Amino acid sequence: MDPDEITFGRFQLNLNQRRLLCQGAPVQLGSRALDILCVLAKAEGEIVSKDELMTHVWPGVVVQENNIQVHISALRKVLGQEKDGETHLVTVPGRGYRLIGLKSSAAAGEPDGQAGDTTSERPSIAVLPFQNMSGDPEQEYFADGMVEEIITGLSRIKWLSVISRSSTFIYKNRPANIREVADKFGVRYVLEGGVRKSGNRIRITAQLIDGRSEAHLWAEQYDRVLDDVFALQDEITMCVVGAIEPSLRKAEIDRVRRQRPNDLNAYDLVLRSLPFVLSHIPRDSAAAIPLLEDALKLQPDYAAAHAFLSRCLHHRFVRAGLREEDRIAAIQHARAAIAHGSDDATALAVAAYIIAYDDRDTATALKLFDRALELSGSNVFALSFSAIVLAYMGKADLAVERAQLTLRLSPFDVYNFRAKHALAIVHFYGGRYANAVDDARSAVHANPRFSTGHALLAAALLRAGRTAEAKAAALDVLAHEPTFTIHGFQLVAGGVEPALSKHFADAWRELGLPE
């Protein structure tokens, strides 16, 4: 790599003059931030630990670790201006930071993806140009615009590295071998697709492929009427991004399960915790808590780890003794997630749920949900968790809108029981008991150990006149949560609309559930 000047995206960094330019114009940066940038650039795309940054930027001086965070944040604001959503400054959980997309002046014609094995870092994806299968040249613009929007949408997934459009479009109008693409850009996953137009109808296909095994992880076909091109691009983009995130999450969880425990970094520890975190079961939360605590020992500012730990502590508070120390700890970790994850939609959404119930601050929670959806409108955590909070608050229309969008974007996500639960609450409160039964039963089938789902199903069955089934469902509540009481539910569900809370309580009393 040229020792004098390095480029990445629209930026040029002169190492000798310690000067950063953006398309030839000087960029103002503090001296410490510029020092950090130079250290990362000299590492030629390799990971630089926080200790190494301390040694190079503050030699012989004892400084607090949050000094790095301040300057990293300043760098991200400057470098996060790429139109295609490229992320140049990457946090590698538990290990440090890495500058990606680097090119020396001698290699300006080469693509800016980095080759190599990325299996020890966060997951990465390359989106190939979609094929125009209709023979209509005008569809090239539509297909290219679709890919650009998908890249931008994927770049908002905080834990995912996305190769820039300018790199992957070297494969436009030429065949691409998936394994070759994965090796060239150093990515785990590749997304490819095609567009075919016939009359006023258009068919869009997309496939998510593992770059190593070339196994298909997800595939979908979308048939639409071509009226408003831009509205259609937005709709398909949301569907693709919304479906890809849970597919990648499952693939990453499966990958880390195959790793030896002594190979795990903070990111891998969080992945191992996820199946336990999202089950709503205190016993599973107990398994997840030490994994998340270990992740935070490796990376104290890991927003997702704080968020998921807050959720586990919430489950332990609600379903395992109502201990005040669990509630307080859940709130503390939720607020840490907010502080460290202002640009992480998932962390904000999970934290918002805890703030709504354990801190009983629904106003702040709704603002956090809105912020999460501003960052990523297809984030299933933000959509489904906010749908539940809104449903319990009696805000039926918005709750239904977000729950239905969750199901439309990601119909096969195993955690969609949350959206079904939200719909069941809305139907129950609206007196549509048959609909409430259907959605509550769907939620229970998706997560049979979800005790609150059984409780809602019992209440809906009773009001639908199916008393025998309701009594059986009430027994299931106690089988899955022996400590369940009506008072306990009312105590922890501070944001629930009072009339709805009474509606539930009356049904549960009739079924003989403990007061």
152: pLDDT strictly greater than 70: yes
**For the segment 222-242, what is each residue's pLDDT rounded down to a tens digit?**
888 877 777 777 788 888 888
Domains 5-107 and 124-257 share a fold: no
Cα gap 181→285, rounded to integer Å: 39
In the prediction, which pLDDT does 72 show?
A: 82
Portion of the chain with pLDDT greater than 90, in percent? 30
In the prediction, which pLDDT does 262 show?
A: 61
Report the chain's mean pLDDT, rounded to a whole number. Answer: 82
In the prediction, which pLDDT does 450 show?
A: 84
- Give the residue, 163 or 426, on which the prediction is more confident: 426
Domain boundaries, the chain: 5-107, 124-257, 263-377, 400-515
Cα gap 293→309, rounded to integer Å: 8
- Residue with tokens 């869009």, as numbered in its chain: 204
The CATH number of the domain covering residues in 5-107: 1.10.10.10
**For the segment 107-138, what is each residue's pLDDT rounded down to a tens digit?**
333 333 333 333 335 688 889 998 888 777 77
In the prediction, which pLDDT does 230 show?
A: 73
In the prediction, which pLDDT does 309 show?
A: 95
The CATH number of the domain covering residues in 124-257: 3.40.50.10610
When pLDDT is cut at 50, 70 and 90, the band that residue 513 belongs to is very high
In the prediction, which pLDDT does 132 show?
A: 84
**For the segment 156-167, what is each residue's pLDDT rounded down to a tens digit?**
787 888 887 777
In the prediction, which pLDDT does 80 show?
A: 66
Question: Tell me, which fold does domain 263-377 have in CATH?
Answer: 1.25.40
**For the segment 471-503, what is each residue's pLDDT rounded down to a tens digit?**
999 999 999 888 888 888 887 776 678 888 899
Cα gap 187→163, rounded to integer Å: 8
In the prediction, which pLDDT does 114 show?
A: 34
Alpha helices in 263-379 (DSSP H): 266-277, 282-298, 303-319, 324-340, 345-357, 362-375
Question: Between helices 266-277 and 303-319, what is the axis angle to 10°?
Answer: 30
In the prediction, which pLDDT does 116 show?
A: 34
Specify the CATH class of 400-515 in words: mainly alpha
Both tokens of residue 393? 């608050």
